[in-house]
């Protein structure tokens, strides 16, 4: 038996022979064929991925209003997260360490507000063995904080159909929000916090301690919470008409259902909710993430400020707190973005951006627009300076406002976004300016009614005298 061994020189010679295909060498033809096969394989792989993506159900709220279904919004908003400074600014000297004991003794979770080297030192001690009894789920417990309810994980899983994807109504960097229905028929929104390096613990403590007792018609009410194992869940009132971002930037057709009067009412409602946080509580609460997607709307178009996951507490003896810069691109106040010094004036700036959004129907930053119109604040200042205020109104508004009403609202917005934070008005002053406008128009209406009545009376007197 003869064993033949291939000679490398012979192989090279064979591969170097010209072929009948344009005189190309054999190794070139083989390389072209292999490359073609790889390209074809990648093409079919991309087709499969595209078809799977199209078949996937979109994650957005499927609410419906009385007249129009809530429009979906697919755009993503980038969040700003600035690395913390080297010094430990998370713990302000005027802020005492806060510890909150939550739930039953065997489910107790202790949160610490102190932070060392950027990481939380809060400890968690939860016994999972008492989550369920042998006969079934433990009944609802009253919170040790004196408000709301402690919900079991089994209750919330049943309410949200096992936290299924079809019930997702919101998703962000700090958790996923599910629509749910409790056993008694109450509709709720369940926020399942994501534990990002202890951030969920800090967010949970802030919401439960600072917002749990808050009761205001323009703030979404926190009903209770769930603490079991690694789960940290918050249960809110369900607001069933979508959020402001959907109604401003979603597909609502050529004519928006948000009339000028509805928009001004939304602005006033937001201002009253924020004024309660800034001026009606001690310590005051700075929201830190005011944006259109965090303003929920009910069926009567009343605004409800939601999502206090980034909120910070400011005590009366401190005028600011230095912290990580967290918020949403386009809404963050410039002094906060540069220095991390947080005050209630940071919320005022974001509120001014929201007013501009409602007036113009534009995003705070829109790179699809011409160069001079990308930044909403700069474009609006230019238009007002050139006496072209009438051209900034959202074209989808059916009946444009009067010139005086428009200028009054533009003035409030521009004062809120003043580069000098000290010159921005407080929320109480903003409410006064907004309500003064309402009083002005009420006086105008009353004056017009009195003039009409007087004119009719004079005509009747003239007719009687002539008879």
Task: Look up 366 and say whether it is catalytic.
Answer: no
Evaluate whether 273 touches 218 at the Cβ level (below 8 Å): yes
CA distance 314 to 282: 8
Q: Is 57 marked as a binding-site residue? A: no
Beta bridge partners, 219, equal: 305
Helical pair 403-416 and 427-466, crossing angle rounded to 10 deg: 170
Give me the DSSP letters along 145-163. TSSSEEPPHHHHHHHTTTT
Q: Measured in whole angstroms, how far is the alpha carbon of residue 452 from the centre of its chain?
A: 48
Residue 333: half-sphere exposure toward Cβ, Cα within 13 Å:
30
Q: Of 113, 237, 289, 307, which residue is the catalytic one?
A: 289
Tell me the two tokens of residue 405.
């009403």
Please state, in angstroms and as integers, the Cα–Cα distance from residue 201 to each residue in 49, 112, 209, 312, 427, following that order: 37, 9, 12, 14, 30
**Residues ≥6 apart with Cβ < 8 Å to 179:** 160, 167, 168, 169, 187, 188, 189, 190, 238
Task: Give, as one character, the DSSP assignment of residue 58.
Answer: P
Q: Measured in whole angstroms, how far is the alpha carbon of residue 234 from the centre of its chain?
A: 16
List the catalytic residues: 289
Q: Annotated binding site for ATP, which residues?
A: 191
Q: Annotated binding site, which residues?
A: 191
């Amino acid at each position: 038996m003869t064993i033949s061994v291939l000679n490398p020189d012979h192989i090279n010679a064979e591969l170097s022979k010209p072929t009948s295909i344009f005189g190309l060498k054999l190794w070139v033809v083989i390389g072209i064929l292999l490359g073609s096969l790889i390209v074809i394989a990648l093409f079919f792989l991309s087709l499969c991925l595209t078809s799977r993506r199209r078949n996937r159900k979109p994650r957005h709220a499927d609410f419906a209003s009385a007249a129009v279904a809530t429009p979906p919004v697919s755009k993503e908003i980038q969040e700003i997260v600035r690395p913390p400074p080297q010094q430990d600014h998370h713990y302000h000297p005027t802020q005492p360490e806060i510890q909150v004991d939550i739930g039953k003794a065997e489910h107790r979770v202790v949160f610490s507000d102190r932070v060392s080297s950027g990481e939380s030192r809060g400890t968690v001690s939860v016994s999972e063995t008492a989550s369920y009894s042998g006969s079934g789920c433990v009944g609802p417990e009253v919170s040790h904080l004196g408000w709301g309810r402690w919900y079991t994980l089994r209750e919330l899983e049943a309410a949200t159909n096992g936290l299924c994807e079809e019930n997702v109504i919101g998703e962000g960097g700090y958790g996923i929000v599910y629509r749910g229905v409790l056993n008694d028929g109450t509709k709720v929104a369940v926020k399942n916090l994501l534990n990002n390096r202890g951030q969920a613990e800090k967010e949970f403590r802030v919401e439960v301690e600072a917002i749990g007792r808050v009761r205001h018609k323009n703030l979404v009410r926190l009903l209770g919470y769930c603490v079991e194992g690694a789960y940290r869940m918050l249960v809110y009132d369900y607001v069933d008409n979508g959020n402001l971002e959907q109604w401003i930037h979603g597909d609502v057709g050529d004519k928006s259902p948000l009339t000028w009067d509805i928009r001004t009412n939304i602005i006033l409602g937001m201002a009253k909710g924020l004024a309660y946080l800034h001026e009606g509580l001690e310590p005051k609460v700075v929201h830190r993430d005011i944006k259109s997607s965090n303003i929920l709307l009910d069926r009567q178009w009343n605004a409800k400020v939601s999502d206090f996951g980034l909120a910070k507490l400011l005590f009366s003896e401190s005028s600011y707190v230095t912290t990580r810069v967290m918020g949403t691109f386009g809404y963050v106040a410039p002094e906060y973005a540069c220095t991390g010094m947080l005050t209630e004036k940071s919320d005022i700036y974001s509120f001014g951006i929201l007013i501009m959004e409602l007036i113009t129907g534009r995003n705070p930053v829109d790179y699809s627009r011409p160069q001079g119109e990308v930044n909403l604040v700069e474009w609006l200042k230019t238009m007002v300076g050139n006496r072209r205020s009438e051209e900034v109104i959202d074209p989808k508004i059916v009946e444009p406002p009067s010139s005086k009403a428009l200028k009054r609202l533009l003035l409030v917005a521009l004062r809120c976004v003043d580069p000098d934070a000290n010159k921005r008005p407080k929320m109480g002053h903003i409410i006064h300016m907004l309500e003064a406008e309402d009083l002005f128009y009420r006086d105008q209406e009353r004056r017009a009614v009195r003039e009409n009545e007087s004119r009719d009376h004079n005509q009747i007197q003239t007719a009687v005298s002539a008879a």
